[in-house]
Amino acid sequence: MNPSKLSPTPNQVGISSRLGKFIDRTFQYWTVAPLVITLLLLVAYPSYQLIRMSVSEVDIVKGETVWEFVGLKHLETARQDPVVPTALKNTLVFVIAVVIIETILALVISLLVSRSNHFVGLYRTVLLIPLLVPPIAIGTMWRLMYDYNYGFINQALAVFGIPGPTWTADPQLAMPSVILVDLWHWTSFMFLIILAGLESLPQEVNEAARVDGASESQILRYITLPLLRPTLLTAVMLRTIFAFKVFDEIFLLTGGGPGTATEVISLYIYDVFSGQFRLGYASFLALGLALIISIFVIFYRRVGQRAQA
Partner 1 sequence: MNLHFMKKTQRGLFLSLSLLVVFSFLLAACGPAAATTEAPAPTEVPTEAAATEAVPTTTEEPKPLPPITILINESPWLAGFEALVNKYVEETGNQVTLNRTPFNGMLEKSRNAVQASESEFDILTLNEQWYMQFYADGLVTPIKDIDPNFELDPQIIEYEWATRWDSELGYSSEKGELYGLPINGNIMLYFYRKDLFEAQGLAAPQTWADVEAAAQALKSGDMSGYVVRANPPNWEFQAFLASYGGNVIKLDEQTGEWEVTLNSPEGLEALNTWLKLGTEYGPANFADNGQAEMIALMASGKVPQMVLVGAAAPDFDNPEKSTVIGNVAAVPVPGSAAGMNATMSGIWVMGVPHNLPDERKQAALAFLNWALSKDAQLFYAQSGAIPVRQDVYEEMANDPKLGWWMKAMADSTPFIHAQPRLAETPQIIEVLDRRLKQALISEITPEQALLEGAKEIHKILTDAGYKVKPLAE
The answer to the question of residue 277 lying near partner 1 (CB under 8 A) is yes
The answer to the question of residue 30 lying near partner 1 (CB under 8 A) is yes
Cis peptide before 82 (omega within 30 of 0): no
The answer to the question of residue 63 lying near partner 1 (CB under 8 A) is yes
The answer to the question of residue 33 lying near partner 1 (CB under 8 A) is yes
The answer to the question of residue 25 lying near partner 1 (CB under 8 A) is no
Q: How many residues bind partner 1 (CB under 8 A)?
A: 42
Judged by CB under 8 A, the residue of 3, 10, 34, 134 near partner 1 is 34
The answer to the question of residue 27 lying near partner 1 (CB under 8 A) is yes
The answer to the question of residue 13 lying near partner 1 (CB under 8 A) is no
The answer to the question of residue 140 lying near partner 1 (CB under 8 A) is no
Binding mask 154-193 for partner 1 (x = CB under 8 A): ------------x-xxxx----------------------
The answer to the question of residue 271 lying near partner 1 (CB under 8 A) is yes
Nearest CB to partner 1, comparing residues 12 and 274: 274
The answer to the question of residue 228 lying near partner 1 (CB under 8 A) is no
In whole angstroms, how close is the CB of 154 to partner 1 at the nearest point? 10
Residues 80-139 that bind partner 1 (CB under 8 A): 80, 82-83
- Please state, as a whole number, how many other Cβ atoms lie within 10 Å of the Cβ of residue 19: 10
The answer to the question of residue 275 lying near partner 1 (CB under 8 A) is yes
The answer to the question of residue 65 lying near partner 1 (CB under 8 A) is yes
The residues that touch partner 1, with contacts defined as CB under 8 A, are: 20, 23-24, 27, 30-31, 33-34, 37-38, 41, 59-63, 65, 77, 80, 82-83, 148-150, 166, 168-171, 254-255, 257-261, 271, 274-278
